Structure 1
Amino acid sequence: MTETDTALKNNQLVNKQKAYFQTGATKSAEFRIAQLKKLYNAIVKNEEKIINALKADLNKSDFEAYSTEIGFTLKEITEAIKNVKKWMKPKRVKTPITHIGTKSKIFREPYGVTLIISPWNYPFQLTMTPLVGAIIGGNTAIIKPSELTPSTSSVIRSILNDTFEEEYISVIEGGVDTSTNLLQQKFDLIFFTGSVQVGKIVMEAASKHLTPLILELGGKSPTIVNDDANLKVTAKRIIWGKFTNAGQTCIAPDYIYVHENVKDELMKALKEEVIHFYGNKPLENSQYTKIVSEKHFNRLVSFLKDGKLEHGGGFDQVSHKIEPTILSDITWESNCMSEEIFGPILPIISYRRINEVIEEINKHPKPLALYVFTENSSLANQIIERVPFGGGCVNDTLYHMATPYLPFGGVGESGTGNYHGEYSFNAFTHDKSVLIQTTKIDLKIRYHTTKNALRFIRKLLK
């Protein structure tokens, strides 16, 4: 198929979905709930296929595949089924005295035809969770999964194309050319998860049609360990958060700032937890995730030369696995600090004063996540108030993403917009403001023709 033929086919699909959306079929609560139930059942039915695909693409263990991909998605769906009717209800808001006799309401209106471009690191969950948002918002969706995880993309296409009609939800597989062509179409909303670099391309394409968009990007998410932290628990939660999915997580702890008083003790605890989680020979651990591609593998291997190797450092070119690695003697001039690591390499920097840490973090782009380990709530609040970031945890890592009651998203270079739970509903709908006016009374002071109208207006608008 030529590029022209592909463009024509994509354009026809977008127009087909636009026509279907205009029928109003997607808008009722009953329809939305029915589609969510169909999606839930399809995922449960194909659970083994999904797990096998994630194993083939990333060597994900059954535990990681279910807990971070399948189970996460199913929980998001059940939460939506329980609450979507409540979320859809128009919201009554106050009216000022100048609007006596009126009612003010906010209606949640679907955008229409949405485009969801998903990444490779959590290829199932980060496709399905935005899709849940599109469904509960009353939209249609065209989905472009990642070409770097072809087995999972194929399963996604099979599940969704077998479950839904293409005028409602459709999957288009392909590489960069496919994404480029889709971005040339006129959508009503674009939801993109991926790198900052590609996010800029998506934003530029969206600007040509003034298309609203949500960008879930990344960045260098810091972890701060104060000298009063519970180091045993701290080490376990950092290692879990950093090396889940071999560090290929947008909100993984990217680097650690540890108080110099407890640096050695923390280092020892971190090494113990790496062995506890992955054994003495992690490259031979069948449950340990691999790096998605040779390009990313080679980029990560180049970082192993930085600083002082404290633990790990081994890698296997054939399996694309890199040992969980800890580096010390790192500065902001080190190569691994020049970009988001997105892999199983953990740099450690020591600090003496927290103000120095805050100032240094704030010199760089706003991170997607931040984690602080301390028993001092005032210190934690000081960091939260002074450092801009998308979201994070005190005395934990990653866990804020797993609750549907907190919005997930970035700020600045780490993204724009947020989702999960009700926030997914908000992300895929527009606030339509409506003032319902009475005809039983008519305030004459609103008209300039009324005597002394300005005097009354001055009093009312003070």
Structure 2
Amino acid sequence: MSAPSPAPAQWFKALRRTRLGEPCLQSRPSECVQLLKRARAAFQSGCTAQEGFRLAQLQALVRMLVDHEGEFVDALGKDLHKPRFETVVSELILVKNEALHAIANLKKWMQPQHVEWTLATTLDQSLVVSEPLGVVLIIGAWCSPVQQSLGPLVGAIAAGNCALVNPYEHASHTAELLQRLFPSYLDHECYHVVFAGVNNLAEVVELKFDHVFFIGSREDGRRVSQAAGRTLTPVTLVLGAKNPCYVDRRCDLGATALRIAWARFHNGGQSLVAPDYVLCHAAVREGLLRALKRCVTQFYGAEPQESPSYGRMGSPESFQRTRDLLWRSGKVAVGGQVIEAEKYIAPTILTNVVETDAIMQHDITGPVLPILSVEDVDEAIAFVNRRDKPLCVYVYSSDGQVISRLMNETSSGAFCANDSVVQSMMVALPFGGVGASGMGSYHGRSSFDTFSHRKSCLLRGTQFECVTYLRYPPYEDRNLSLMTWASTLSQPGQGWCQLL
């Protein structure tokens, strides 16, 4: 690995900011073009193909997070009013776990995978080789500016790619910290940070990367996908969606309320995987509401605005959209307070919500939880299936049959029973969307595969030309009969005829 050097000052100016949500100074398209050229030249040099290089970069990424933990805590505190506990647990530790898992398994992941032996491949070698894609673009989201930028980067590094990382523009302190630290830890030719705002993403995507990884809203994801399509660039999209949460009448209400309240309101309610609405069995609706109210007080006190454990919204657009949806839907049962100067929305629970309310027509990117009543699991399943496929489906029940029905009779990117959000933190579980909630996945081996091309390879000899000659013109009925007869000798799926 070449010695690190600081990024030239003319690329980016690091600005000191004091206001929540102030965007970064954006990169000019010409700067992105130059960084892409440098990264492509570095990739073509072959340095990223080496296992040792990849391991060194992953280890350096871990050191960066350890050495500068305090600075990441400060940056996320300024950007999102994020408590130190949430920064360490839901941002830094998750990325370190991804990197350490990749380090431990990289040798195995890089090895060619041999295809199962068949009669047709008796004397051949059939294998699948994972090769890096090239230079990839990773676009992070507002929810978790570190985890959702560096988590996918782990997979890109492990798979042997170069990368440009575009953190979320309104998390300016975090984005500029990453821009400052990258050259000191990661190879300064292979890995770069750029600042492209939401409105300029399409222009950057059209620069022609080898893969684009995007986490964020469906609206922005659609623009990214359309821009990538113009250059036939493959994409992975992890998109926000309305994640349903069914609470059965047979459940532990105390534990259910704790886990739902934590999932919905941590990080100031900014999460792509939090429960978006609750479908509550009518028999336990009032009990669940009382339990949720107790949880909010237990977590954040009587005045959440004063709590050091409660965050703020980082994006002005998300704040305004959430505020407007809150004011136009249902009845406030808990919370409802809004302070625009701080981008503060109190932990809020809505009742008397109906399916046609505005808040049920749009993704919720803030600390608001609508509760709707259903009579049974059949009604809950029908409600979920009437809508676009969500990123996550949650169910709280002590009845295994209810859990099984929700898991098997609904479609979603992920499913979790008797908890929320934690499935998206598991390194061994692929995570991604389906349908309207995205395409592709990441985490662990899945990240490695996402940023790799699985190349099919067949290695043959020329010893059996005495048999393979049957496939050559001029075609004769005798040869066709022999090949047809040979194919009937094979067991299902073995394909003797392929040998010819």
TM-score (norm 1): 0.96
| Partner in structure 1 of residue 351 of structure 2 | 328
C-alpha RMSD over aligned residues: 1.8
Cα distance in 2 for partners of 1:328, 1:75 equals 39
Q: Which moved more, 1:106-115 or 1:173-182?
A: 173-182
* Amino acid across the alignment from 1:237: R
Contact kept? 1:101, 1:441, Cα under 8 Å: no
Cα distance in 2 for partners of 1:404, 1:294 equals 32
| Partner in structure 1 of residue 365 of structure 2 | 342
- Deviation, 1:182, is 1.4
Please say if 1:404 is aligned against 2:427: yes
* Amino acid across the alignment from 1:459: T
Please say if 1:454 is aligned against 2:476: no
Within a 5 Å distance, the mapping from 1:247-266 to structure 2 comes to 247-266=269-288
Match of 2:377 among 328, 345, 354: 354
Contact kept? 1:369, 1:392, Cα under 8 Å: yes
Cα distance in 2 for partners of 1:173, 1:256 equals 37
- Deviation, 1:178, is 4.4
Match of 1:45 among 53, 57, 67: 67
| Partner in structure 2 of residue 367 of structure 1 | 390
Match of 2:417 among 394, 403, 426: 394
Please say if 1:194 is aligned against 2:216: yes
Cα distance in 2 for partners of 1:242, 1:359 equals 23
CA 1:243–1:88 in 2, change beyond 3 Å: closer, same or farther? same
Cα distance in 1 for partners of 2:97, 2:310 equals 25
- Counting aligned pairs with the same residue, the percent is 35
- Deviation, 1:78, is 1.0
Please say if 1:278 is aligned against 2:300: yes
Contact kept? 1:92, 1:105, Cα under 8 Å: yes
Contact kept? 1:115, 1:143, Cα under 8 Å: yes
Contact kept? 1:366, 1:412, Cα under 8 Å: yes
- Deviation, 1:66, is 0.5
Cα distance in 2 for partners of 1:183, 1:444 equals 50
- Deviation, 1:458, is 4.2
- Deviation, 1:101, is 1.2
Contact kept? 1:43, 1:159, Cα under 8 Å: no
Unaligned runs of 5+ in 2: 1-9, 12-26, 473-477, 493-500
TM-score (norm 2): 0.89
| Partner in structure 2 of residue 376 of structure 1 | 399
Within a 5 Å distance, the mapping from 1:65-144 to structure 2 comes to 65-144=87-166
Unaligned runs of 5+ in 1: none
Cα distance in 2 for partners of 1:264, 1:6 equals 54
Q: What's the secondary structure of 2:47's corresponding residue?
A: coil
- Deviation, 1:190, is 0.6
Deviating above 6 A after TM superposition, structure 1's stretches of 4 or more consecutive aligned residues are none
| Partner in structure 1 of residue 76 of structure 2 | 54
- Deviation, 1:357, is 1.5
Cα distance in 1 for partners of 2:241, 2:280 equals 20
Contact kept? 1:90, 1:108, Cα under 8 Å: yes
Match of 1:298 among 317, 320, 331: 320
CA 1:68–1:298 in 2, change beyond 3 Å: closer, same or farther? same
| Partner in structure 2 of residue 233 of structure 1 | 255
- Deviation, 1:318, is 2.1
| Partner in structure 2 of residue 147 of structure 1 | 169
- Deviation, 1:281, is 0.7
Q: What's the secondary structure of 2:129's corresponding residue?
A: strand
Please say if 1:18 is aligned against 2:40: yes
Cα distance in 1 for partners of 2:252, 2:370 equals 20
